[in-house]
Structure formats: C-alpha cells, structure tokens
Amino acid sequence: DTGVSQDPRHKITKRGQNVTFRCDPISEHNRLYWYRQTLGQGPEFLTYFQNEAQLEKSRLLSDRFSAERPKGSFSTLEIQRTEQGDSAMYLCASSFVGGPNEQFFGPGTRLTVL
C-alpha cells in the first residue's frame, strides 16, 4: 500500500498524559500536513512541512502541541498534558511541489482523552 499511513489508528489516554502520533506520507511527497477534526466539523488545519521545514502553523497549535519532520520523511505530532478538549481525529495529508493541487489524506488517528 503506497498511501499515507498513520499510527496508531486509535489512542485512549488519561487527561494530563502525553501522546505522540506518527504519519508516513506517500514516498515521493515533500509536503506534509496535519489537521484536526472534531465531531460534526470539517478538518481544521494545524501545520504543514515542506521537506523538514515547518512553514506554517495555525493558532490552534498551542504550546502543548509540537510537530516534527526531522528527515523530511515521516512526521510526529506530540500533545503534552492532554486535555479532554483534545479529543478528536488527527488527520495527516501529503502532496508534492509542482504536482496536483490535491492533498492525499491518511486514515487518521482517533484520540480519546478521558
């Protein structure tokens, strides 16, 4: 399968714990995006990388959130001191510069904070 993959698919954690999600983009894609989707809403942009550089961040990305893409391939999204309001689906997408305009999405990681 050569699509975008995300791990884990589901995560249940207790309030105050740290969690980390991983995204592997389509192999030739140099752009990688993170979105968050809460129940009944469309996805909301969090951040994006071109290669290893983080080029855009949303105000939604509070100090408790950090994203990395150290070698320009996979990316991690970490949430520290989770809160119940962090419960959502975290979606990763990828695309490549000069390619089609669409972003290709992964299956998402569903986070539940108890």
Partner 1 sequence: AQKITQTQPGMFVQEKEAVTLDCTYDTSDPSYGLFWYKQPSSGEMIFLIYQGSYDQQNATEGRYSLNFQKARKSANLVISASQLGDSAMYFCAMREGIQGGSEKLVFGKGTKLTVNP
How many CB atoms sit inside 10 A of residue 43's CB? 18
As measured in angstroms, the least distance from the Cβ of 102 to partner 1 is 4
* Residues 7-46, interacting with partner 1 (CB under 8 A): 31, 33, 35, 40-45
As measured in angstroms, the least distance from the Cβ of 89 to partner 1 is 6
As measured in angstroms, the least distance from the Cβ of 87 to partner 1 is 14
Choose the binding region for partner 1 from 20-28, 62-70, 80-88, 105-113 (rule: CB under 8 A).
105-113
**CA–CA gap between residue 51 and residue 83 (Å, rounded):** 30
Any idea which residue has 């080029």 for tokens?
55
DSSP 3-state percent helix, strand, coil across the chain (nearest 5): 5, 50, 50
> Is position 93 an interface residue for partner 1 (rule: CB under 8 A)?
yes
